[in-house]
Structure 1
Amino acid sequence: MITSIWKAIRNGQIDPVYVITGTESYFIEKTLDLLKTKLTDGEPEFINFDLDEVPVDYVIEEADTIPFFSDRKLIIAKNASFLKAAERGKEKIDHNLKALEAWLENPPSSSVTVFVAPYEKLDERKKITKLIKQHAVMVEAKALQANDLEVWVQHEAKQFGKHIEKSSAQRLIEMAGTNLTLLSSEIEKMSLYLGAEEEITDELIVQMTARTLEQDAFKMLQAYLDGNISEALSVYYDLIRQKEEPVALTALLASQIRFMVHVYYLQKKGYHAQQISKQLKAHPYRVKLLVEKRQQIPEQRLLEVLNDLAEIDLQLKTQSGNRERILEFFLMKRKQARKAGMAQ
């Protein structure tokens, strides 16, 4: 567990070699920050290497060199691609893995070397992968699953001495997105604002959370598809006041529609949420929101909206004048169609 490794680092139990694997940048950076914090006796010595640019020999040589200003130096070797599967001849650098294998048998205690492999999987068949797993502390920086994300938000709030209900955690994720660094920043900001108070409420989240363009566009589209045109127009007017371009907004809406079509298609095929997120390379929470939605939009309706957005995109790129009106009329057209249907 990554938390037990962090606890050991905080307690000063630091090993000579670490390997961080996985795609969650928040966990990668937090692990590196913890090591930097604990290795700041004297004048800190932090050395960075990009293994897409230099051979691993440079890392070995630096690790074997005695530090000048501190007891232990920190060496960070990013993009350790020799640990993942790769096509022959496609490697950017020819790494001396024999030298690395020998070095791993007895790494120096005067340095802490961290290999960062930001990939979903390592190639377990490789000798170097098997050997490095024997001699290094393996830190898994995997992206959280949908349900784990809500639990993580609650745990993060607890770190700041605050409490947040699961429903409020969901609201925060829906507003701020699934980026853990951003979520942590929002939780810290609200915790400072609360002072001695403990509860992070829905009202506080709505009041203080910085909204992203993607989240606002998703909210606008969802309101439009649900027939809540007043809400869709309200979000749209806010975005226009923030100087967002109608062309960019149209592209975001179309991208979200295509994503919904793909999710519902795979769901009909029998895929569950985790399989869909892996297939589409999307965050599990984003898929969960659509899969768990009680009233899914019919596929035909989604394709009609996608076709309308293609026409809007063409108009925005070929017509002059007040372009904000074009997307506004698109949103209002749904309202007029609903009124006509009710009149009949």
Structure 2
Amino acid sequence: MVSEAWKEIKKNPEQPVYLLTGSELYLLQQTLAKIISETPGIEQQDVIYFDLEETPVDRVIEEADTLPFLQDRKVIVAKNASFLKAKERGKEKIEHPIAQLEAWLQDPSPTATVIFTAPYEKLDSRKKITKVMSSNAFVIEANKLTGTDLAVWVQQQATAFGVVMDRDIADYLVEATGENMMQLSKELEKLAAYLGDAGKITKEVIDSLVPRSPETEIFRLTDTYIAGNRAKTLAVYHDLLRSGEEPIAMTSLIAGQVRLMLHVGTLKRKGYHQQQIASTLNVHPYRVKLVMNNRNSPSEQRLLRVLNDLASIDLKLKSTSGSRERVLELFFMEKL
């Protein structure tokens, strides 16, 4: 996890070269801020930034090799190191002297910390520059956290904000808010401000302060529809419409939830436990827990029928010129 890399940054803050990579921008931003704050004598305004989509990398090397003025060390951030990923035709705007960078990485400046950021899900490991960078830089991967890792991170963030929360409450917050780490951090900060120091986050506090994510409401909508509660289904549906959700998007999300129910049922019959199912399906364990604990869980045949009906509704929604809201409403009103 990134938290382990943060401990290493604190222990050894004067690494000459960092490579921050991965698709979770929030973690990249947090890690970058951590490196800057842990570098002795450096304030945010002292940091020198380059965008490698606009500036050749030799400018970064030149700056790094120039002795710092009135400081023992300088910090340089070289953003968007796209030369580390697979080449996209027509996308390269700058020619970088890669051979010069490869040579410099093996003997970097002793008076500079250079942080290369590559905010991409995957780097091209076949490239020589990627291999040289990986061998000579402190590499930190900031990929999207899911499942147990995300819940542990939520608990750590709560502690950082001065409040505590149990593991099941961390799962509940993720289910209510979604897996966007930036949004989760904002909600935790709000909860901490409400509770004050040493407060404890509970389900009741979350329900009173945290707005439910559309995905959570779709889960509730699907659950009430499958359970045959038409009045509650229509109430949730109209709430979603008022919040700006589109019928086509809702249909797709409902179908995804029904498929999740089918997959969970299949794996459960094969003897998989909750954590194994969550890992296999790459979904948060709390979502799996809700499906497994649903006493009104329908049969596989019933779920397949709903899935088939949703495919017809999706086609009708995409081809109709009338009220799409009404099309989905009529579907909810039909008896299963």
TM-score using structure 1 length? 0.76
Cα offsets for 1:151-208 (capped at 9, x unmatched):
2222221222222122211111111011122111111110110014521000111111
| Gapped regions of structure 2 (runs ≥ 5) | none
Residue 32 of structure 1: aligned partner? 32
CA contact (8 A) 2:22 2:122 kept: yes
Give 1:160's aligned amino acid.
Answer: F
Amino acid in the other structure paired with 1:14: E
Write the mapping of 1:169-208 to structure 2, written as runs, cut at 5 A: 169-196=170-197, 198-208=199-209
Q: Is the 8 A contact 2:172 2:286 kept in 1?
A: no
Question: Deviation digits for residues 6-50 of structure 1, max 9, x if unmatched?
Answer: 245457823221011333322211011223445644942331314
Which of 47, 50, 65 is the aligned partner of 2:49? 47
Q: Do the aligned residues in 1 keep the contact of 2:173 with 2:206 (CA within 8 Å)?
A: yes
SS at match of 1:161: coil
Aligned to 1:289: 287
Determine the C-alpha separation between the residues in 2 that align with 1:71 and 1:41.
13
2:109 match: 108
Contact kept in structure 2, 1:263 and 1:276, CA below 8 Å: no
Amino acid across the alignment from 1:147: T
> In 2, distance between residues paired with 1:14 and 1:103?
17
Secondary structure of the residue that 1:19 maps to in structure 2? strand
The answer as to whether partners of 2:49 and 2:79 remain within 8 angstroms in 1 is: no
Who is 1:159 aligned against? 160
Question: What TM-score, normalized by structure 2, do the two folds share?
Answer: 0.78
Comparing 173-182 and 300-309, the one that deviates more: 300-309
Deviations 1:221-261 (A, max 9, x none): 23322444444333212223324333443343345445666
Residues 252 and 6 of structure 1, relative CA distance in 2, 3 Å threshold: same
Confirm or deny: 8 A CA contact 1:43 1:69 kept in the other structure: no
Alpha-carbon distance in 2 for matches of 1:95, 1:263: 49
Aligned equivalent of 1:320: 322
Distance 1:70 1:305, change over 3 A: farther
Aligned 8 A contact 1:16 1:111 in 2? yes
CA contact (8 A) 2:16 2:113 kept: yes
Most deviating of 174-183 and 324-333:
324-333
Is the contact made by 2:148 and 2:285 (CA closer than 8 Å) also made in structure 1? no
Change (3 A) 1:71 1:212: farther
Aligned pairs, number? 326
CA RMSD, 1 decimal: 3.8
Contact 1:273 1:288 in 2 (8 A): no
Tell me which amino acid in the other structure corresponds to 1:2.
V
Q: How does 1:6-155 map to 2 (within 5 A)?
A: 6-7=6-7, 9=9, 13-38=13-38, 40-41=42-43, 43-51=45-53, 54-66=55-67, 72-84=73-85, 86=86, 92=92, 95-120=96-121, 122=123, 126-155=127-156
- Greater Cα offset, 324-333 or 3-12: 3-12
Give 5+ residue unaligned stretches, structure 1: 278-283, 338-344
Q: Write out per-residue CA displacement over residues 246-289 of structure 1, whole angstroms, 9 at most, x where no aligned residue.
A: 34433433454456667778999999647745xxxxxx334773
Deviation larger for 303-312 or 148-157: 303-312
